[in-house]
Amino acid sequence: MAAGQSPMSRICDGESVFQGAHGEVAWSGVRLTADVMADLADGPWAERVGDLESSAAVIEELRALATTEMAVETVGALLASEAEPLPWEVGEALAEVLLEHWHSVVWVWNNARDRRTRKASLPGADLVGLSVIEGAATLLFGEVKSSSDASAPPNVVYGRSGLIQQLERLTDKNADHWTLIKWLRARCSTQEHRELYKAAAARYVQSQGRDIRLVGCLIRDTSPNERDVSVRGVALARTVVEPMKALLTAWYLPVTMASWPAHVGLENSA
């Protein structure tokens, strides 16, 4: 790495191990190094998983409101009740960080804030954001799967709840687009995000709901294998047609999936 290179810039130092395309579907595989993993854990990955900045503000406020010994105990018990994030949550957060830094995706909100119970997966698409390439914004919808399955492709790619069928459903503008667009617009709290949203929504409307970007992410602790995404990527190309585009990304981590919560330092956090 270059002298003076910041930890944030090193996030993009992963090793590209394969890439390919079929029609409007592209795929790629990246092996993350131990150094990249350390930089992620020290910053954006842990922040995304735990929504640390927002949580810190709530904690500070609650502690300021605790003016009696019993109140202090109540706040302490509340903080101690925070559950350890599950590996799939940690993998989903990592996908968002990597897409932001590798593929110019803008997130207007952290999904961790919407969970009503810590161990429940939110309905709808895992990923809802904006793809911004050379200043042009496009609506982005996607799904994330984490897997230690040694098979290539892994089982999480197949079936009704598998990665590819979930993406195929998102190609249908009559499926979840309205709900996802409403969700995204309601969370554009800055002028910059609102302008990007308007530009992306205009492209969507003018293209009769076809100009969107789909992303499918596999987070793996196995050896890189292009078949993880290429086999089903070819099949997905049958339903992804211009101007719609899809990207399948596989990210290979040097630590086991079970240890991901510990790696970001959020295990049994309180």
Taking only the tens place, the pLDDT of each residue in 59-105 is: 788 888 888 888 888 878 877 777 778 888 889 999 999 999 899 99
**In a domain? residue 239:** yes
Banded pLDDT at 45 (limits 50, 70, 90): confident
Closest CA to 56 of 38, 90, 79: 79
What is the pLDDT at residue 120?
57
**In a domain? residue 70:** no
**In a domain? residue 187:** yes
**In a domain? residue 65:** no
What is the pLDDT at residue 7?
46
* Cα–Cα dist 39/249, whole Å: 20
**In a domain? residue 71:** no
pLDDT tens for each residue of 11-22: 667 899 999 999
Dihedral (Cα; 109, 247, 163, 97), 10-degree rounding: -30
What is the pLDDT at residue 114?
67
Banded pLDDT at 121 (limits 50, 70, 90): low
**In a domain? residue 68:** no
What is the pLDDT at residue 4?
45
pTM (2 d.p.):
0.86
Enclosing domain of residue 165: 7-50+84-263
* pLDDT surpassing 80 at residue 50: no
Banded pLDDT at 119 (limits 50, 70, 90): low
Dihedral (Cα; 147, 46, 54, 82), 10-degree rounding: 70
| Side-chain-side CA neighbours of residue 127 (13 Å) | 34
**In a domain? residue 111:** yes
How many structural domains does the chain have? 1
What is the pLDDT at residue 64?
86
Angle between helix 163-170 and 227-236 (nearest 10): 30
Closest CA to 27 of 249, 175, 256: 249
Closest CA to 145 of 108, 105, 83, 92: 92
**In a domain? residue 132:** yes
